[in-house]
């Protein structure tokens, strides 16, 4: 069973639909017990960093996220769900993130001819043998919608980058924690392959 954390932050149904398409059993929930008992957990999200952290804290979901990541349950953050795993964001000064991983969330720099937010398909540069990307071709295209991007502190956890005004750390992996700035659930066959790789990961024995 895969738990999709429900904290009133968009794109829940599209993630659920993609998992159902892959034949995966999943539940959209904010119930502590369901999340704790799940084989895998997904933190989706679209919207503002500060609002999202406020919702997680309101439902005390920040606590259960820390619990499941510490007990080595495979955990996937998507888009805003990636950003929330870090210590904070330029979008919401003074708001502390979950700080499960180390890195900065910065605004994409303005550049002539490039629109912000970054909306559309970009190719990934894969590196460091990310388990989410097993079986994919070298420069797969995925779908992004974001104005802020990750600069991870430890380059070794970065499994994919993309270029849009700057080098964006598009996916990270550390032990049981995975995250994507792009939307695999909106990235066609490539995105389904990424979600399938996550769904097939082995958890803690």
Domain ranges of the chain: 2-199
pLDDT in tens, 58-106: 999 999 999 999 999 999 999 999 999 999 999 999 999 999 999 999 9
Estimate the share of the chain in helix, then strand, then coil, as percent rounded to the nearest 5: 30, 30, 40
pLDDT in tens, 2-12: 999 999 877 79
Q: Which of 193, 204, 73, 203 is nearest to 134 (CA)?
A: 193
Phi, psi of 197 (to 5 degrees): -60, -40
Give pLDDT, residue 205.
31
> 126: helix, coil or strand?
strand
- 26 is known as an active-site residue: no
Average pLDDT over residues 23-41: 97
Give pLDDT, residue 204.
42
Query: Residue-wise over 81-105: b if at least 16 C-beta within 10 A, else e?
Result: bbbbbbebbebbeebebbebbebbb
Given 79, 91, 169, 173, which residue is catalytic? 79
Count helices and strands (H / E) in the chain. 6, 12
- The DSSP element (H or E) to which 123 belongs, if any, is strand 118-123
Query: For residue 153, what pLDDT band results from cuts at 50, 70 and 90?
Result: very high
Average pLDDT over residues 134-152: 97
Instruction: Name 42's bridge partners.
Output: 4, 76
Given 118, 146, 169, 183, which residue is catalytic? 183
Give pLDDT, residue 166.
97
CA distances 125 to 162, 181, 196, Å, are: 6, 13, 20
Cβ–Cβ under 8 Å, residues 5 and 30: yes
- Per the prediction, the chain carries an average pLDDT of 95
pLDDT in tens, 158-184: 999 999 999 999 999 999 999 999 999
CATH code for the domain defined by 2-199: 3.40.50.880
- 91 is known as an active-site residue: no
pLDDT in tens, 110-127: 999 999 999 999 999 999
Query: For residue 202, what pLDDT band results from cuts at 50, 70 and 90?
Result: confident
- 185 is known as an active-site residue: yes
pLDDT in tens, 7-28: 987 779 999 999 999 999 999 9
- Which stretches within the chain are classed as H helix? 12-21, 32-37, 49-58, 61-70, 80-83, 188-199
Cis peptide before 62 (omega within 30 of 0): no
Q: For the beta carbon of residue 142, count every other beta carbon within 10 angstroms.
A: 24
Give pLDDT, residue 9.
76
Give pLDDT, residue 127.
96
Given 16, 91, 173, 185, which residue is catalytic? 185
Instruction: Name residues whose C-beta falls within 8 Å of residue 125's C-beta, 6 or more positions apart in sequence.
Output: 139, 160, 161, 162, 163
């Amino acid at each position: 069973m895969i738990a999709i954390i429900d904290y009133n932050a968009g794109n829940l149904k599209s993630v659920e639909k993609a998992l159902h398409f892959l034949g995966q059993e999943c539940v959209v929930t904010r119930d502590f017990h369901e999340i704790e008992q799940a084989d895998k957990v997904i933190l989706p999200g679209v919207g503002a960093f500060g609002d999202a952290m406020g919702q997680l804290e309101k439902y005390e979901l920040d606590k259960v996220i820390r619990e499941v990541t510490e007990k080595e349950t495979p955990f996937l953050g998507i888009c805003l769900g990636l950003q929330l795993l870090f210590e904070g964001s330029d979008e919401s000064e003074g708001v502390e993130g979950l700080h499960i991983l180390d890195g900065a969330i910065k605004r994409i720099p303005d550049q002539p001819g490039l629109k912000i937010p970054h909306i559309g398909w970009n190719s990934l540069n894969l590196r460091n043998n990310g388990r989410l990307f097993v079986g994919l071709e070298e420069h797969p295209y995925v779908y992004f919608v974001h104005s802020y991007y990750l600069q991870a502190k430890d380059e070794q956890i970065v499994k994919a980058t993309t270029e849009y005004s700057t080098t964006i750390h598009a996916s990270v992996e550390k032990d049981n924690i995975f995250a994507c700035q792009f939307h695999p659930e909106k990235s066609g066959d490539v995105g389904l392959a990424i979600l399938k790789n996550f769904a097939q990961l082995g958890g803690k024995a």
